[in-house]
Structure 1
């Protein structure tokens, strides 16, 4: 190895470890369900994005196996050559129906969606107003577009209106977009979409909602935009197929014209092999499940409210979450890491999240209860939280 590279890597790794910012990766043996096995220990799993328990759903596994038999293990090409299977068309029609839009297009990941759509639509002649707590994939998509990036204070409508006015009236930009998460993954709060739409109409802003943590969770499953009844007002809806949907991939939904354009201009669509047949078929089944019944959605919210109430009563700082995402904000990075470690030793897997994922001094363990958790599991988790919280002085 190059000495310069070796010195750089050693210095960076040592610095991260000293600051409590180095992330240890845990390996799960077996399925990622409400309980997981790590290094031979069964742990109550409160760190999964598998909100509805669909990642291990028997019906999804069954149809995925059938798709392998009928279509093979891979799609064989990019979408624009011969990698568009009948299953992909069926999926995209289903997603459009689910999201209440004219059309949709599927990508290999949610991260890819933001890299693809933002870059395809915005360029160096444009400006993007971006909520300061937006996901890393939004930030990277904005950077790739080469548009002027204007940070907007988190869910601050006065700041958004002021900066939208400045950007539009400056005459410096051909197009101005406002982009926001629908549900913010670190705090569990929800974007103020009705107010955002009002400001967007006033200044003719393009509106883009990343609903990665809202799809399957908000709007009886159909997402944050549907929750507010704004399907006809938001220009671009993006979501993942790997969180509540339980499989892998992402999608962009909107007008037929938008989707037609993305299929000829979005680079990850043009240059990446398409979703596998098994994944595609399982996603179709998952989306249909959500369209047929709200049972899993309702159970998720029931469990989320139950855990949130229990943690708050114990004295933990759970922030201002409006969704099942429930952070326990510890603060100092090393204490956060120790808190997570002790939870794991006692039987709860709740991963620590520190800078740069969240601002310095706001380290937390983020709890993600799912529809698959039982009350007994949540009660046991709360007992462990109480024990560890008191031991480390986080609660009294």
Structure 2
């Protein structure tokens, strides 16, 4: 019998769009790292058994192997075990989860936070909890797939707005007669690395009586004076709460961020007005009907928040790495287009799927791992290497990447 997937899989192969899953493990187990191994922490991995210098992870601050997080995890396992056993609304919400939510709210300067076991689950449950039939959602064209899926599940009327086009958004909001309007955007766009103009979006939402949902997956921990995220980056909030100029204007904001990137662990949270958060807790199906993340995850994340706040040198080093990379690629006259980005995400646009895969393979042969990102994740003709920097990288490792790229023939 021929399965209906055969032809479709062959189509992916022919278009060079078939993904390949690889086995990835640290070269040295975190618990066995010595001071001499420190340069390997979070940067060098066995990829399908071969050691590679990796620029592929979202571990922007290098916290996934931080000793403080490992210690917190071990202590929590000894206290709580390894499973949450049920959904948060049954018996899966531990004291660790309660303390984590309070710490997250305080860190981003918002009144209340709600922790989800995964970022995808947070957005897929969040949007349908906020809007439904008779409402309208205005979504940036480059929003992440989990936002898109959440919008589809909500059954609200969808308006896709050209990327970062405030004039088009203004016109779409003005023309809408929907009962409720929700603007949805990534804060830092995951494949381009650019930052949304959140203050301008807030002003538009205020003008048109709309809500604003921002997904700060790639800004939390990296942006802001103490890693509070994109809101603090623009001066809207901070660890002391909402900035005076924005008092009374934040009730229309829904803030979401993931914790498997700069925070180094997993999960996500939604924060904002206490009533909004309570409503999401009561209505988000991905929160109500899914087993909670284990307490060990919550304990590790509380340790991560402390490190994010107390080790600002990690963000400074990340900025130095970005500068070193961009200056190095310019000096080497790399033939591909490095997109403008002030974040840890540095996209190098190659063009075709074939060429992007070829450059990735050439880097792999040189012991450097940078994943090629292809459609439908990015638009046709813009296949790219998504260079992801981490505070765990050294300047010398960035130089190694630049040299490897310079040796790749076009």
Indicate the TM-score class for this superposition, using the shorter chain for normalisation: over 0.9
**What's 1:264 paired with?**
282
**What's 2:400 paired with?**
380
Q: Which digits, 9 at most, give the CA deviation of each residue in 1:167-192, with x for residues without a partner?
A: 1xxx3x21001010000011110101
> Is 1:68 aligned to 2:64, yes or no?
no
> Is 1:165 aligned to 2:183, yes or no?
no
Given that 1:304 and 1:370 are in contact with CA atoms closer than 8 Å, whether structure 2 keeps it comes out as: no
Structure 1 residues 324-339: aligned runs within 5 Å = 324-339=344-359
Per the normalisation by structure 2, the TM-score is 0.91
Give, in angstroms, the shift of residue 272 of structure 1: 0.8
Structure 1 residues 1-396: aligned runs within 5 Å = 3=1, 6=3, 8-30=4-26, 33-167=42-176, 171=177, 173-220=178-225, 221-231=227-237, 232=242, 233=250, 235-314=253-332, 315=334, 316-388=336-408, 391=409, 393=410
Give, in angstroms, the shift of residue 312 of structure 1: 2.9
Secondary structure at the counterpart of residue 81 of structure 1: helix
Distance 1:124 1:230 in 2: 31
Distance 2:125 2:325 in 1: 37
Distance 2:398 2:383 in 1: 22
Unaligned runs of 5+ in 2: 30-40, 243-249
Unaligned runs of 5+ in 1: none
Secondary structure at the counterpart of residue 90 of structure 2: coil
Distance 2:22 2:57 in 1: 13
Give, in angstroms, the shift of residue 324 of structure 1: 2.0
Secondary structure at the counterpart of residue 376 of structure 1: helix
Distance 1:313 1:366 in 2: 20
CA RMSD of aligned residues (A): 1.3
Distance 1:313 1:240 in 2: 35
**What's 2:37 paired with?**
none
Secondary structure at the counterpart of residue 55 of structure 1: coil
Given that 1:307 and 1:369 are in contact with CA atoms closer than 8 Å, whether structure 2 keeps it comes out as: no
Give, in angstroms, the shift of residue 366 of structure 1: 0.5
Runs of 4+ in 1 over 6 A off after TM superposition: none
Q: Which digits, 9 at most, give the CA deviation of each residue in 1:217-276, with x for residues without a partner?
A: 111311111111224536111010100000010100111111111111111110111111
Aligned residues: 382
Secondary structure at the counterpart of residue 76 of structure 1: coil
Distance 2:330 2:210 in 1: 39
Deviates more, 1:38-47 or 1:330-339: 38-47
Q: Which digits, 9 at most, give the CA deviation of each residue in 1:143-175, with x for residues without a partner?
A: 0000001011110111010001011xxx3x210
Secondary structure at the counterpart of residue 54 of structure 1: coil
